[in-house]
Amino acid sequence: MDVQLRNNVKVVGPPGAPVVVLAHGFGCDQNMWRLVVPALAQRHRVVLFDYVGSGGSVLSAWDEDRYSSLDGYARDVTEVCAALDLRDATFVGHSVSAMVGVLAAQSAPERIGGLVMVAPSPRYIDDEGYRGGFTAEDIDELLASLEANYLGWSSAMAPVIMGNPDRPELGNELVNSFCATDPAIARVFARTTFLSDTRDELRQVAVPTLVLECSQDAIAPREVGAYVHAQIAGSQLITLDATGHCPQLSAPEATVQAILAFLETRR
111 is an interface residue for another protein by CB under 8 A = no
Report 155-194 residues binding another protein (CB under 8 A). Answer: 172, 175-176, 178-179, 194
Using CB under 8 A, count the residues that bind another protein: 40
The residue count of the chain comes to 267
152 is an interface residue for another protein by CB under 8 A = yes
**b/e burial code for range 136-170 (CB count within 10 A of at least 16 → b):** eeebeebeeebeeebeebeeeeeebbbeebeeeee
Contact in structure between 245 and 218 (CB atoms under 8 Å): yes
Give 107 or 176: the residue with its C-beta nearer to another protein. 176
Residues 169 and 106: their CA atoms lie apart, in Å, by 39
* Contact flags string 46-65 toward another protein, x per CB under 8 A: --------------------
Q: Kindly tell me which residue out of 4, 68, 149, 257 binds another protein, with binding defined by CB under 8 A.
A: 149
Report 17-36 residues binding another protein (CB under 8 A). Answer: 25-28, 31-32, 34-35
- The dihedrals phi and psi of 227, each to the nearest 5 degrees, come to -60, -50
For the bound state, the minimum distance from the C-beta of residue 93 to another protein, rounded and expressed in Å, comes to: 15
Would you call 44 a catalytic residue per the annotation? no
Q: Reading across the β-sheet that carries 112-118, which strands appear in turn?
A: 10-12, 45-49, 19-23, 89-94, 112-118, 209-216, 236-243
C-alpha dihedral over 17, 41, 212, 144, to 10 degrees? -120
For the bound state, the minimum distance from the C-beta of residue 35 to another protein, rounded and expressed in Å, comes to: 8
Catalytic residues: 95, 217, 245
Chain residues binding another protein by CB under 8 A are: 25-28, 31-32, 34-35, 95, 134, 138-149, 151-152, 172, 175-176, 178-179, 194, 216-219, 243-246, 249-250
